[in-house]
Amino acid sequence: MENKIYGLLAEFDTTTEIVVAAEKVRDAGFTETDAFSPFPIHEMDEALGIKRSILPYVVFAGGIAGLILGLGLQYYTHVIDYPIIVGGRPHFSLPAFVPPAYEMTILLAGFAAVFGMLFMNGLPKPYHPVFNVPRFNLATREKFFLLIKADDPKYDYEETKAFLESLDPQEVFDVDE
Amino acid sequence: MQDARDLQEIQEKIYPPMVEGVYDYGTVTDKISDITLKKRTPYGWFIGFGISFIVAQLLLLTVTLLFVQGVGIWGNNQPVGWAFPIINFVWWIGIGHAGTLISAILLLLNQKWRTSINRFAEAMTLFAVACAGLFPILHTGRPWLAYWMLPYPNTMAMWQNFRSPLMWDVFAVTTYATISLLFWYVGLIPDIATLRDRAKNKYFKVAYGLLSWGWRGSARHWHRYEIAYLLLAGLSTPLVLSVHSIVSFDFSVSQLPGWHATIFPPYFVAGAIFAGFAMVLILCIPLRVWYNMKDLITDTHLIYMGKVMLATGLIVVYGYAMEAFFAWYSAAPYERYMMYNRMFSGPYWWSYWLLILCNGISIQFLWFKRFRESPFWLFVISVVVSVGMWLERFVIIVTSLHRDFLPGSWGMFAPTIFDWSMYIGTIGFFFALIFLFVRMLPVISIFEVRTLLPDAKVEHHGHDHEHSGQGSVGN
């Protein structure tokens, strides 16, 4: 082995197989793990012990920021910087200010959802060691992969490989760094 | 045992399979991504794109002339100042609404049939909003100053008037376009990653690689992805309802008989969804034949869309009835005159009854299985409905404006050739974009269709945790 190993990748054929395998990996005490699938598998969150993301709070904060920004903009322009009577309405015409503030709320919450998700996922990331495994092309098509990273405290090349082999995968690959 | 089989039969009746034919993850991936990755472009594509592209040149020519000569090339004049540009704006933005409805509201309602139509419905939304956005900007007369509508500190030391519905429109439409784009793009990321991994051509590999942001299908990524997607759906749902409500405020906040009606927001939203589903049907009926995808966009999909069209169409017809009733019940002479003029005595009476024929009568055929289950008739009805929804905006705008309060300011509106060329040009532009989209990106959400396959469900395996397994996005 000249190359540094990033981890070990086991390939599976079906959702059930990989979820069962992931549960065993979790029960064996591995924490630096990941799974790759061509579509989301809900059971995987529990099987891998993935904690619920804080993303919803980020989105909420984005929405509140949008609301404040939208109302603040209209308050500043109509009350502070350029107070002018239009149609006999008060400077701070709240009912009329609702639609722009509402749209700003949605806009910033939407930004928070999309860019927050991409940021927390560490994307964009055009290079990742798992792409070094040629069969990994199939992770966006029909195959399921389970990864144990080399920096897992319980990781040991021989033992972990043997353990993954025991989970009945199609094949186990070394992932080069 | 018998009970279980009965239950299954009943379930299949209520929830017919949304993917017909035998597929596994690989073959369904090939089927959809081959449209994009196949080397040879079908001849039909060139014909379709060519015609749309030529028609789109009408838009370019008209806009050029408009920049040179000004809005005088249109038929807009006092008292009908809003005419075609606003009719077309409302028509296009209404069409866009079905895309968001399919992708967001049907997702929240856990309707699996959205899965094979949401992608191109969202693309349709984007392109329709692009066409819609052109009109109010060009209608300002000096479109190169359109940025004056955006609040930025400027040397004139002036600010926009946020009490005006036209400013609400600016915020609503730009937010709508932005969020629709994000929603569409986020949905595309895993599928673009599929294309990246399947593409043989080096340049396509790099292009799809860049567009997919390095997506690798990690379970942690999917976890956040689904949360983000669901939240976006939750945000888009009130957004889509607000956008057309705000468009209707452009009319209903004014004091004009025929515009000043409280029924406008819900009636406009229903009309938008009605028109949008008609356009989705117009697009997907030929698409599924040309690309041989009847097993993914099934007859069931078409029937469901036909039913949505019938339901929203009836809401719209109720809106017409209420408009007439309010005008009579208000006992206001101007309101009553407007309605009487619109329906019977005015010079545009024919447009009102044509509208009733297109939007009210034509959809009644959808009550019958024979029409609902025939793609041909659905297509015909959809085209008629699209015409009808255009007429609706024509009736609302032109008949309300052409009789001002004083007979001295009455007038007539007649469109010029440039009104028509600009409108038809945007239709060409829209279809040209659709053709490009079909060739370059997956028209059906591949990863979501994979979740519909029977294999995608995780079998029970001893552990006693709950299995949701419903729909593509949950938790």
Are A120 and B224 inside 8 Å of each other by CB?
Answer: yes
* pLDDT level of residue A2 (50, 70, 90 thresholds): low
Closest among B126, B116, B118, B117 to B95, alpha carbons compared? B126
What mean pLDDT do residues B94-111 have? 83
Name every chain A residue with its beta carbon within 8 A of the beta carbon of B163: 78, 86-87, 89, 93, 96-97
How confident is the model over A101-134, as pLDDT tens digits? 999 999 999 999 999 999 988 888 888 888 888 8
Which range among A156-170, B111-125, B131-145 has the greatest average pLDDT? B131-145
Over 60: is that where the pLDDT of B437 sits?
Answer: yes
The confidence score (pLDDT) of residue B388 equals 93
pLDDT, tens digit (0-9, with 9 covering 90-100), for A43-92:
888 888 788 888 999 999 999 999 999 999 999 999 998 888 888 888 99
B301 interface with A at CB cutoff 8 Å: no
Contact A103 B172 (CB under 8 A): yes
Please say if the pLDDT value at position A141 is more than 90: no
pLDDT bucket at B2, cuts 50 / 70 / 90: low
Name the residue of chain A whose CA is nearest to B237's CA. Answer: A106
pLDDT over 50 at B13, yes or no? yes
Most B CBs within 10 Å, among A94, A103, A130, to test the B interface: A103
Report the gap between the CA of B357 and the closest CA in chain A (Å). 35
Q: Closest Cα of chain B to A151: distance in Å?
A: 17
Say whether A120 and B231 touch across the interface (CB within 8 A): no
Q: Which of A12, A34, A42 to mutate to test the interface with B (most CBs of B within 10 A)?
A: A42
A38 and A83 both lie in a single domain? no
User: What's the domain range around A88?
Assistant: 55-120
pLDDT range class, residue A3, cuts 50, 70, 90: low
A48 and A66 in a single domain? The answer is no
**Percentage of chain B exceeding pLDDT 90:** 40
Contact A43 B458 (CB under 8 A): yes
Whether pLDDT at B43 is above 90: no
For chain B, what is the mean pLDDT? 86
User: Bigger pLDDT: B382 or B456?
Assistant: B382
Enumerate the residues of chain B whose CB falls inside 8 A of the CB of residue A141: 25-26, 29, 194, 197-198
- The stretch B99-107 carries a mean pLDDT of 82
pTM: 0.88
Contact A106 B167 (CB under 8 A): no
**How much is the pLDDT for B460?**
62
| pLDDT tens-digit series, residues B402-432 | 988 888 889 899 999 999 999 999 999 999 9
Question: What residues contact residue B231 under an 8 Å CB cut-off, 6+ apart?
Answer: A55, A56, A59, A109, A113
Residues near B446 by beta carbon (within 8 Å), at least 6 away in sequence: B28, B29, B32, B33, B190, B191, B194
pLDDT on residue A126: 82
Name the CATH superfamily, with its identifier, for domain B18-147+162-454. Formate dehydrogenase/DMSO reductase domain (1.20.1630.10)
**Count of beta carbons in the 10 Å neighbourhood of residue B45:** 17
Out of A85-99, A158-172, B1-15, the most confident range is A85-99
B155 part of contact set with chain A, CB < 8 Å? no
Residue A69 lies in a domain: yes
Give the minimum alpha-carbon distance from A158 to chain B in angstroms, rounded to a whole number: 25
Work out the pLDDT band at A177, boundaries 50, 70, 90. confident
Whether B103 and B233 have beta carbons less than 8 Å apart is answered as yes
The pLDDT assigned to B473 comes to 40
Q: Is the pLDDT of residue B461 over 80?
A: no
CB contact under 8 A, B151 and A77: yes
At B302-332, the pLDDT tens digits run 888 899 999 999 999 999 999 999 999 999 8
pLDDT for the residue B436: 92
Closest chain A residue to B187 measured between Cα atoms?
A114
Residue A32 lies in a domain: yes
Any idea what the CATH number is for the domain that residue A151 is in?
Answer: 3.30.70
Instruction: For chain A, say whether B142 makes contact (Cβ under 8 Å).
Output: no
Beta carbons of A36 and B228 less than 8 Å apart: no
Do A62 and A106 have their domain in common?
yes
pLDDT at B469 over 50: no
Instruction: Report domain extents, chain B.
Output: 18-147+162-454
Residues A86 and A112 in one domain: yes
Decide if B469 and A20 are in contact by the 8 Å CB cutoff: no
pLDDT band per the 50, 70, 90 thresholds, residue B466: very low
Q: How many domains is chain A built from?
A: 2
Instruction: For chain A, state the CA radius of gyration.
Output: 25
Q: Provide the CB-side half-sphere exposure for A146 (13 A, CA).
A: 34
Report yes or no: B255 at the A interface, CB cutoff 8 Å. no
Contacts of A59 in chain B (CB under 8 A): 228, 231, 235
- Per-residue pLDDT reduced to its tens digit, B267-276: 899 999 899 9
Of A70, A109, A126, the CB nearest to B209: A126
Percentage of chain B modeled with pLDDT above 70: 94
Q: Tens of pLDDT along B76-90?
A: 888 888 888 999 999
Residues A77, A92: one domain? Answer: yes
So what's the pLDDT on residue A16?
A: 86
Q: With an 8 Å Cβ cutoff, are B162 and A103 in contact?
A: no
Tell me if B220 and A99 make a contact (CB, 8 A cut-off).
Answer: no
**What's the pLDDT tens digit per position in A27-39?**
888 888 888 888 8
pLDDT band at B386 (very low <50, low <70, confident <90, very high): very high
Q: How far is A1 from chain B (nearest CA, A)?
A: 26
pLDDT of B288 higher than 50: yes
Residue B2 or residue B226, greater confidence: B226
Secondary structure of chain B in HEC code, one letter for each residue? CHHHHHHHHHHHHHCCCCCCCCCCHHHHHHHHHHHHHCCCCCHHHHHHHHHHHHHHHHHHHHHHHHHHHCHHHCCCECCECCHHHHHHHHHHHHHHHHHHHHHHHHHHCCCHHHCCCHHHHHHHHHHHHHHHHHHHHHHCCCHHHHHHHCCCCCCCCCCCCCCCHHHHHHHHHHHHHHHHHHHHHHHHHHHHHHHHHHCCCHHHHHHHHHHCCCCCCEHHHHHHHHHHHHHHHHHHHHHHHHHHHHHHHHHHCCCCCCCCCCCHHHHHHHHHHHHHHHHHHHHHHHHHHHCCCCCCCCHHHHHHHHHHHHHHHHHHHHHHHHHHHHHHHHCCHHHHHHHHHHHHHCCCHHHHHHHHHHHHHHHHHHHCHHHHCCHHHHHHHHHHHHHHHHHHHHHHHHHHHHCCCCHHHCCCCCCCHHHHHHHHHHHHHHHHHHHHHHHHCCCCCHHHHHHHCHHHCCCCCCCCCCCCCCCCCCC
Task: Give exposure, B181-218, as e/b (b: 16+ Cβ within 10 Å).
Answer: bbbbebbbbbbbbbbbbbbeeeebeebbbebbbbbbbb
Region B457-467: mean pLDDT is 56
pLDDT at residue B59 tops 60: yes
- The confidence score (pLDDT) of residue B77 equals 87
Using a CB–CB cutoff of 8 Å, tell me whether B196 touches chain A. Answer: yes
How distant, in Å, are the alpha carbons of A55, A162, B282 from that of B360?
46, 70, 19
Nearest CA in chain A to B460: A16
Q: How far apart are the C-alpha atoms of A23 and A6, rounded to whole Å?
A: 21
Given an 8 Å threshold on Cβ–Cβ distance, is B162 in contact with A96? yes
Question: CB A116 to CB B162 under 8 A?
Answer: no
Summarize the confidence of residues B11-15 as an average pLDDT.
70
